[in-house]
Structures are given as C-alpha cells and as structure tokens.
Amino acid sequence: MISATKDYALELCNVSRRFGQTVALDVVSLAISPGEIICLVGRSGCGKSTLLRMIAGVDTIDSGRVLLNGNEVSGPSTFVEPEKRRIGFVFQDYALFPHLTVEQNILFGLKDRPKQEAADRIAYVLEHIGIAHLSARYPHMLSGGEQQRAALARALAPQPDILLMDEPFSNLDRGLRDRVRDETLSLLRKLGTTVIMVTHDPEEALSAGDRVVLMKSGRIVQTGTGYDLHDRPINPYAAEFFCAFNKVPGVYRDGHVETAIGRFARQLDAGEGSPMTLYIRPRGISVSREAGDISGRVKSRVFLGEVEQLTVLVDGLEQPLQVRTMNRLPPGTEAVGLTVLPDGWLTFPPA
Ligand SMILES: Nc1ncnc2c1ncn2[C@@H]1O[C@H](COP(=O)(O)OP(=O)(O)OP(=O)(O)O)[C@@H](O)[C@H]1O
C-alpha cells in the first residue's frame, strides 16, 4: 500500500472507468475531509453510482488511484477487498435481508466481532437511531422511514470510516423524507461520519451537505457549497441543474449585455460583439402593476402557496418570461411592470 496524506478521509486521483464504449468515469479527482458530508448530484447516467461502487471496491477502476485515510485501496497494483475498506453502504431500496429481524440484520455486519462487542454495538446504534423498539421486527413489518433507519443502523454498526448512501431518501414520501433526512444527517454529523450521498433532487443537494459535487458524463463539473453552486455556477449545465432560468439572447458591448429587454452591466472576459445569453431567475424579476424597466402582459398564473408563478409576455422576446413572485397581484391583472433585480441574472456564452 502507498501511504499518502492522512488529512483526507477519501482521495480520488484521476479515476477512470469504462464499460465498453461508455466512459462512466472520466479522470475524476476529488478529496474529502473527515466528517464532511458530500452530496453527489447529476443527471441519470452521469456516473454517480459507478463512483460509489469504485470507492466501496465492489467494482474495479481502469486507471487512477483511490485512497482511504491516506492508504491506497485501488490503484495500478492495489486492490483492497470491500470488506477490508471500512465503508458502509445504504442503498435506495435499503437491501435489508427479509428473513432476518432488524437486530439480526445489524448483527450481519458484525459477525467477526466478539459476541459482547457486537451486542454493545447493536444496542448503541439501535438507541442512537431510535429504533430499539423495532429490533425484533422483520423488514416487511416496518414503514419506509423505519426501514431506512434500520438500513442506516446496519451500515453504521461496524463503525465505518465512510458512509456511502445511494439515494437513501428517495423511497420516502415528501413530508416524511424531509424529516428523516434532517434527523439522519444531524445524527451523522454528531457521530462525525464522513458521508457521500447521491441524490437526484437539486434542493436536497443544496440543503443537505457541506459540499455539493456536480457530475456530468463521468466528469466533475463543479464542487462547492450549495451557495457556490446555486449562486455562482461555472457553466450553463451547473446553472440549469439548480434553477429553471429564463434565457434571453444578447450581445456583449461596452461592458453590457445588450438584449431586447435592456442593457445589463457586467465586466466580462468576452470580446466586443460576442453573443451572450442572459440567464434570469424566475425569482430574480420583480413584478408590479406600476411601470417597471420592462412592460409585460400576464398570460397565465399558477398559485403555489408561498409564491405565484406568472407567465408574462414581453414585446421582443420569443418566449414569455417565467416570474415567481410573493407579491399578490389582484385577480385579472394584465399589464405589469417588470424589473430584473441586480443579483437576479447570470450570463454565459450561448451553448
Ligand atoms: N455494469 C455496467 N455495464 C455497462 N454499462 C454500465 C455499467 N454500469 C454503469 N454503466 C453505464 O455507465 C454510465 C454511468 O452509470 P451510473 O449507474 O454510474 O450512473 P448514475 O449517475 O448513477 O445514474 P442514475 O442516476 O440513473 O442511477 C451509464 O451510461 C451506465 O449505462
């Protein structure tokens, strides 16, 4: 084994994996500190599950290195078996053994421990995860949320260095999901567990982890806090993953993006006359019955509770603008004034 820095719980160095013609992971590098909670996101097929499988060691890599606590576990001439990696796994379907009780499921991962130690570990996780009263039940006798907690208890019992979770909350309905997720993550934080959690849900990714890792076609597009990814996306893919933007074509001139709905000042590293697309957040437009920078006509509105989504026709734009507002307009309002807020827009060259 090659020993590198122990500052990181996990390091991926130029990891690649192909399946025939498909490049599932394309020279991926990532370092994760102990106790960090990472949300791994990206569209279907971008390589999230493959990445978890390589870390867990249930599949091999073609090139690169994987290090756990500074020790190489996958590399050109190294392969440490999954059982020896001290990694816990929680799957989307929980994968509990149906013929074993909750307690027996947890015991399964502790078979090599002395009896008393295993019993102590089981008691500890049952209590901390709040399912001691369910220990004698079989999986089919548990609700979705309870099954999720049982799977978490089984994964945590052997005290893994890293916990990998593949869409762990996606089988739960919305209300339960938020609660189980908050409870689970606060417990994992308390235990100081390093976590990589795959999710499809952009909101979950922004809110749940310390850091978001966004993938596309086997590559990491951007890593950063939820605020970084949401407010400062590095490209249109990252931007559109977290927000359904209005897109307005424009041209860069004299420090401004010139569009059919006005000039937007920003210093850009772009040549005079370069085409630029303005990405305007639906919440980045204020709307009122007074005159604004832009005149529009409300085509339709959908009341969503906290906010209302308006579709507004604007002269000179092929597509109407989508506007999300907390400002309740009187029924039947047609003519509106719109103003794009200073931090309500981004700009990128056209894709
Ligand atoms: N064993 C395999 N054989 C062939 N192709 C595979 C295999 N495993 C994964 N792939 C391909 O590799 C790519 C990445 O798959 P992966 O399951 O990692 O994506 P994902 O981001 O987890 O997708 P999803 O969000 O749909 O679960 C996909 O194109 C997939 O079809």
The answer, yes or no, to whether any atom of ligand 1 lies below 6 A from the CB of 312, is no
The answer to whether the CB of 47 is under 6 A from ligand 1 is yes
- The Cα 208–Cα 164 span in angstroms is 14
pLDDT tens digits, residue range 214-228? Answer: 999 999 999 999 999
Band of residue 5 on the pLDDT scale cut at 50, 70, 90: low
| Residue 284: per-residue pLDDT | 97
In terms of pLDDT, which residue wins out, 44 or 173? 44
Chain mean pLDDT for the chain: 92
pLDDT score of 130: 85
Give the confidence band of 179 by pLDDT, cuts at 50, 70, 90: confident
The amino acid sitting at 23 is V
User: Phi-psi category of 254—alpha, beta or left, where left has phi over 0 and alpha has psi -120 to 50?
Assistant: left
| Residue 54 near ligand 1, beta carbon < 6 Å | no
Residue 2's pLDDT band, with cuts at 50, 70 and 90, is very low
State pLDDT tens for residues 249-282.
999 999 999 999 999 999 999 899 999 999 999 9
Question: What residues contact 165, with CB distance under 8 A and at least 6 apart?
Answer: 89, 90, 195, 196, 197, 198
**Choice from 15, 16, 22, 213 to test ligand 1 binding pocket (greatest atom count within 8 A of CB):** 22
Task: Decide: 297 and 336 in contact? Cβ < 8 Å.
Answer: yes
Residue nearest to atom 11 of ligand 1 (CA): 24
How much of the chain exceeds pLDDT 70, in percent?
Answer: 99
Q: Is the CB of 41 under 6 A from ligand 1?
A: no
Residues in a beta bridge with 28: 15
105 lines ligand 1 (CB under 6 A): no
Per-residue confidence (pLDDT) for residue 207, from 0 to 100: 87
For position 4, what pLDDT does the model report? Answer: 55
How are beta strands 294-303 and 308-314 bridged, if at all?
antiparallel
Q: Given a cut of 50, is residue 335 above it in pLDDT?
A: yes
Q: What is the pTM of this model?
A: 0.89
CA distance 133 to 211: 34
Site of tokens 């006509």: 297
* Residue owning the nearest CA to atom 2 of ligand 1: 19
Collapsing DSSP to helix, strand or coil, 241 comes out as: helix
pLDDT band at 1 (very low <50, low <70, confident <90, very high): very low
CA distances from 306 to 235, 285, 309, 324, 325 (A): 30, 16, 10, 10, 9
Q: Would you state the structure tokens that stand for residue 197, as one six-digit string?
A: 């959690």
Q: What is the DSSP string of 125-184?
A: HHHHTT-GGGTT--GGGS-HHHHHHHHHHHHHTT--SEEEEESTTTTS-HHHHHHHHHHH
pLDDT in tens, 227-253: 999 999 999 999 999 999 999 999 999
